[in-house]
Chain A
């Protein structure tokens, strides 16, 4: 937008991606990993909208709407799986379901 270079938006998006990556790497709780995935999806979506604005067409915005919808479907299914894991093992550590291996 008026007088703000594209680097600023891309920088914010890179920071969001970085923080999402840190969340995923540093935690063992499955719900935390989902929070990190949401951060990364937001970073990607912000990139799409930025390029849409500075590139002069609307495709980026439509892709970012699809990203938002994908995130909704992903969160619904992933949390249902997490709840099932919790019901069986009584915790949500990422390593617990490896008991499924024989």
Chain B
């Protein structure tokens, strides 16, 4: 039982418990805040995997950005009643459990060719190199800016308040 095990267990517990709150809570505001803790837990798991830049991106974009956007989505669409129906939830759990059993079966029986693990280094230098080298990820890097431009213009156009033509 090392510090690594404790860290992994704590982050995994936070992730799974808060994801369960997202799936099962009656109030959408509580579910949204549950998602907040899920994102934090996943960021912690990235850190235990030695992916420090991915962790920073997760916290910067998911926790700082997407979470705010989703909370605005929740606040902008108030609905009177909860849409939690226990019968439907149980049916969804059963269907999901079938998929989960399949996944866990694969997990148990597959032969995972893992390497001998080196001690983790900070990955941000190497990521910066790969993102800007033409033979590696330069094209996706530039295409991302077009994607973001399209998302920005499309969403701003959709969100502009205008007269609804009836």
Footprint of B on A, CB under 8 Å?
Answer: 1-4, 6-12, 14-23, 25-32, 34-36, 38-39, 42, 45-46, 49-50, 52-56, 58, 61-62, 64-66, 68-77, 79-84, 86-88, 91-93
B123-154 CB contact bits vs A (8 Å, 1 = yes)?
Answer: 10011001100000100100010011011101
Interface residues on B, range: 35 or more
- Within 8 Å by CB of A1, from B4, B103, B107, B131, lies B4
A interface, by DSSP: helix, strand, loop or mixed?
helix
Q: Nearest Cβ distance between residue A95 and chain B, in whole angstroms? A: 11
B interface, by DSSP: helix, strand, loop or mixed?
helix
B22 touches A18 (CB 8 A): no
Please give me the residue from chain A that is nearest to B147 by CB atom. Answer: A73
Given the interface pairs A26-B92, A46-B45, A55-B115, the reply to whether A12 lies near B158 with Cβ below 8 Å is no
Given the interface pairs A12-B15, A83-B77, the reply to whether A61 lies near B159 with Cβ below 8 Å is no
Q: Nearest Cβ distance between residue A59 and chain B, in whole angstroms? A: 8
Please give me the residue from chain A that is nearest to B148 by CB atom. Answer: A73
Footprint of A on B, CB under 8 Å?
Answer: 2, 4-5, 8, 12, 15-16, 19-20, 22-23, 28, 31-32, 35, 38-39, 42, 45-46, 48-51, 53-54, 57-58, 61-62, 65-66, 69-70, 72-74, 76-77, 79, 83-85, 88-89, 91-93, 95-97, 99-100, 103-104, 107-108, 112, 114-115, 117-118, 120, 123, 126-127, 130-131, 137, 140, 144, 147-148, 150-152, 154-156, 158-159, 164
